[in-house]
Amino acid sequence: MALKLYEIDSPNLLLERNYPNTCFSLDTGIYESITHLDASFGKGFYKEIFFDGIHIGYGHANLFKRMRFRFESDFETVEMHFALKGSSYASGEMMPSGVSFDAHQHNIIYGNSICGKMEWGDQEFQLCEINLSPEFFKKFLPEDSKFFDEFRNAIDRGRSGLLMNLNRQITHEMYEIIDGITRCERKGIFKKIYLEAKIMELLLLQLEQLQVDDRAAVSLKKTDIDKIYAVREFLLQNIDGNSTLINLAHAVGTNEFTLKKGFKELFGTTVFGFWHDAKMEHAKKLILEADRTIGEVSDLVGYKNQRHFSDAFKRKFGIPPSKLKRNF
């Protein structure tokens, strides 16, 4: 089982990854590796984990120029694909219409010994791809559904393609699960249990969202979607901060109405409801995993008044932070 990348118009090999046949076998150990990129066209890394019929790949790179290359693979897989940042385009004999992803989009791809061309934009590029063996994946496809039966039949015939022609937006809930998968520090069997549970949860969210009629897709313009995701990232990077809606909107070049409407449409909550929940989840993690006083935690999530923080924490989790710390 191998994946090879070549320069677009030459036989020069850029990268070759050989995977053991056990990569998509059940009842194996857990294997991890990381490949670093340090070249004239970009810098970054690609981390891989595989076990029990599952392969997880997570990459982050800053590309200094547009990249075009040829690729070859000799294995069969179902890929849960998440384009977190940047855009890409791929085409090949098995997919003549091509497959393209913009930032914050996801889909499910079936590939059977695919060869073709790929292009990445000159930008920050981040993706998460989870590969499942077709037999493993088909166990979780809903029965008696024309929508899923077509994809199941394509797999049975060995015809590469997408589960859905239209990509969907990655939700905040999906981002949280992906973050948990890529940051998991457990070891051995406990890591396998955790990762498999999270992948099944992520697959559930994908299948539920993808089966909804195309007309239910997000109505926002791509430029507005990018700005709203930029606000989301800013909020998560500034857990201890405070800001107004108008300041957040102006910081990314939009207005309050578009930000409020778009945030609700993409993430199912308000801007400040999202930020409050993120602060409380971070506070809970600090209490459980770090040696911090309640006062220190309050400061770290942007509360100047410890009592106000304790009240907000209790409304969120049902117990005050002091009780959580004592129980821990």
Q: What percent of the chain stands above pLDDT 70?
A: 91
CA dihedral of 48, 236, 126, 101, whole degrees rounded to 10: 120
pLDDT for the residue numbered 214 = 46
Question: Average pLDDT in the 51-80 region?
Answer: 87
Question: Which comes out higher in pLDDT, residue 321 or 23?
Answer: 321
pLDDT band, residue 161 (cuts 50/70/90) = confident
Q: Report the SS3 class of residue 250.
A: helix
Question: Which comes out higher in pLDDT, residue 130 or 325?
Answer: 130
Lowest mean pLDDT among 53-67, 149-163, 207-221, 226-240: 207-221
Question: To 10 degrees, what angle do helices 256-267 and 271-289 make?
Answer: 60
Domain boundaries, the chain: 2-216, 222-327
Inform me whether the pLDDT recorded for 170 exceeds 70. Answer: yes
pLDDT band, residue 26 (cuts 50/70/90) = low
Q: What is the mean pLDDT of the chain?
A: 86
pLDDT for the residue numbered 147 = 76
Contact 295, 306 (CB under 8 A): yes
Question: Which comes out higher in pLDDT, residue 212 or 243?
Answer: 243
What number does CATH give the domain 2-216?
A: 2.60.120.10
The Cα–Cα gap between 145 and 10 comes to: 45
Question: Average pLDDT in the 20-33 region?
Answer: 68
Strands 67-73 and 76-85, sheet pairing: unpaired
Question: Average pLDDT in the 272-287 region?
Answer: 91
Segments of 52-132 assigned E as strands: 54-63, 67-73, 76-85, 88-92, 95-101, 105-112, 115-120, 124-132
The Cα–Cα gap between 131 and 51 comes to: 11
Inform me whether the pLDDT recorded for 288 exceeds 90. Answer: no
pLDDT for the residue numbered 251 = 92
Question: Average pLDDT in the 21-30 region?
Answer: 62
pLDDT digits (tens, 9 = 90+) for 295-319: 999 999 999 899 999 999 999 999 9
Question: To 10 degrees, what angle do helices 271-289 and 222-237 make?
Answer: 30
Fold of 222-327: Arc Repressor Mutant, subunit A (1.10.10)
